[in-house]
Amino acid sequence: MKLIFSHLPSLLTFLCLLLSAQAPLPSLAVTFGINYGQIANNLPTPIQVSSLLQSISINKVKLYDADPKVLTAFNNSDVEFIISVSNDNIINMRDPTQAQSWLKQNVQPYLPQTKITCITVGNEVFSSNDTNLMANLLPAMQSLYEALQTLGLDGQVNISSAHSLAILGDSFPPSAGSFRQDLVQYIQPLLNFHSESNSPFLINAYPYFAYKGSPNTVSLEYVLFEPNPGVTDPNTNLNYDNMLYAQIDSVYAAIKALGHNDILVRISETGWPSKGDTDEPGATPQNAAMYIGNLLKRISMNQGTPLNPTVPIDVYVFALFNEDMKPGPTSERNYGLFYPDGTPVYSVGLQELSPYSSAPGSFKQKVRRERTFLFTFKFDQFFR
């Protein structure tokens, strides 16, 4: 204790310098991705978003398009991008000429200044009832991959597609995970493509949906990463203390059942709404903060799932902003970590933003308040 107090003046000086610094705190950075949707009429400009994300050390972004304004705004940043081919453009990508033209327009001009590392072809195609779209997904992916090879970009950019967990026929216990039988004809060759091209299998996973559907039987603590007894897989004796990890491992099991153990599963979307309708239990800022905050703690620990403990989870949080023009229930418009003016919807341990001015969209000099909390946490840990 005497040692601590003897160094208190210099420590306080260091704290003051730290809190006055303009740059983000590198030792506190958590490597995770964010989904940047734009179905709204009140969002900040891409340049403002670039400043925001770099101020809170988010270095991976997933888009639902290939917005040139966004890609240009992130020139010479360290942010990696996943860009997307929309569902209504999948069939066009079967044509090698159109695939190459799309890459020349949406990828090639931005490299290497903007780090585009992945292209998702469609979103949750297998959850639709469009069998024609399902049948065209893999050919479109193959065509784009061959176009990347032709342009010499296949070493920088990979091809994937994001899927809903609805593609699973069984998901519990995790070791019994399997794909729906009606989808195996599409997924088997898709997995062969991922294996050959060394690209990840992307899943949109939302434990919230399970809780929303059965709030009386699904443990809230289990889906929020809060302390709980967990669930033990009777086939492997592995214990799961949260639903997201069980969902990830059920996908690994389904992939293995089709003959592959060489494909990485990444979470392309996961999140929790901060607001919902009366029939959407659990959609509160407190629960959203717990879900995202506890998830970020797991990520910061480089934690893997029980089945793959040495493979850190790779996650893109949904979403960056509340999007006021999204259709559907209230929850759909309230998944954001931030309001459009740059203020946080709730605190999750990121460097919290406090508006510098009341003018919407002003992001200058906003990083301040939560640095005190974060440093206090580290300060306390250091002297334990």
- H helices of the chain, in order, are 2-6, 8-20, 46-55, 68-73, 96-106, 131-151, 184-197, 207-213, 220-223, 243-257, 285-300, 369-382
Q: Residue 114's closest CA among 157, 177, 148, 161?
A: 157
**Residue 166 near residue 204 (C-beta atoms within 8 A):** no
User: What are the CA-CA distances from residue 81 to residues 66, 171, 220, 238, 295 (Å)?
Assistant: 10, 30, 33, 34, 21
Q: What are the φ/ψ torsions at residue 89 (nearest 5 degrees)?
A: -115, 0
Residue 124 annotated among the catalytic residues of the structure: yes
Residue type, 328: G
Q: Which of 80, 124, 226, 332 is catalytic?
A: 124
Q: Residue 343's closest CA among 333, 358, 324?
A: 358
Residue 280 annotated among the catalytic residues of the structure: no
Q: Which of 146, 196, 226, 269 is catalytic?
A: 269
Residue type, 96: P
Please state, in angstroms and rounded to a whole number, the distance separating the CA atoms of residues 378 and 27: 10
Please state, in angstroms and rounded to a whole number, the distance separating the CA atoms of residues 261 and 36: 31
3-state secondary structure of 130: coil
Residue-by-residue DSSP string for 131-187:
HHHHHHHHHHHHHHHHHHHHHT-TTT-EEEEEEEGGGEEE-SSGGG-EE-GGGHHHH
Please state, in angstroms and rounded to a whole number, the distance separating the CA atoms of residues 72 and 19: 31
Catalytic residues: 124, 269
